[in-house]
Amino acid sequence: MPLLNVVITLVVVGVILWLINAYIPMQSTIKSILNAVVVIVVVLWLLYGFGVISGGGDIRMPKVN
């Protein structure tokens, strides 16, 4: 996964989340849940993208040489 794609995706997700939080009126608990779900999904996507988590759900530890 190229680093530029990761950075662009994180910026786009961050801007979209900021726009939703700033301009869509929601109860604060719903905003908190939405923020938590987005953060969890992004972290899982990063772990999967960098190969820490495989498609089967197995967790691989990075090798240090």
Domain boundaries, the chain: 3-49
One pLDDT digit (tens) per residue for the chain, 65 residues: 688 989 999 999 999 999 999 999 999 999 999 999 999 999 988 888 887 887 666 766 666 76
Residue 3, pLDDT score: 87
What are the distances in angstroms from CA 21 to CA 9, 10, 17, 31, 59? 18, 16, 6, 7, 33
pTM reported for the whole predicted model:
0.78
pLDDT at 48: 85
Residue 59: phi and psi, rounded to 5, are -100, 125
Report pLDDT for 51.
Answer: 79
Q: What is the pLDDT of residue 47?
A: 85
